[in-house]
Amino acid sequence: MSPAEELKTVWLLWFEQEKLEGEDVELLLGVYRTEENARAAIERLKGQPGFRDYPQGLQVYSRVLDEDSWTQGFVRD
């Protein structure tokens, strides 16, 4: 990643849990300047109730500021 891209990138920490019955759980837990900060948050949270039962649900994604992330639209089932 170039320095210019680094300045425009944020790191999102999500908790995602698919449920076979009922609604999936998707929680935006935080937005961070660096991937390292987002991963440090996982370390702080993974022992908390709920998160400790589903540690694989803690996911980090990068996004570039001022860019569309989803451009194709969507269809509800």
What's the rounded Cα separation, in Å, for the pair 11 and 37? 8
In 3D, which of 56, 60, 61 has the Cα closest to residue 40? 60
25-32 and 9-17 beta bridge pairing: antiparallel
- What does the alpha-carbon distance between residue 70 and residue 54 come to, in Å, rounded to a whole number? 27
Span 45-59, pLDDT tens digits: 999 998 999 999 999
Tell which wins on pLDDT, 24 or 7. Answer: 24
pTM for this prediction: 0.80
What gap in Å lies between CA 70 and CA 77, rounded to an integer?
A: 18
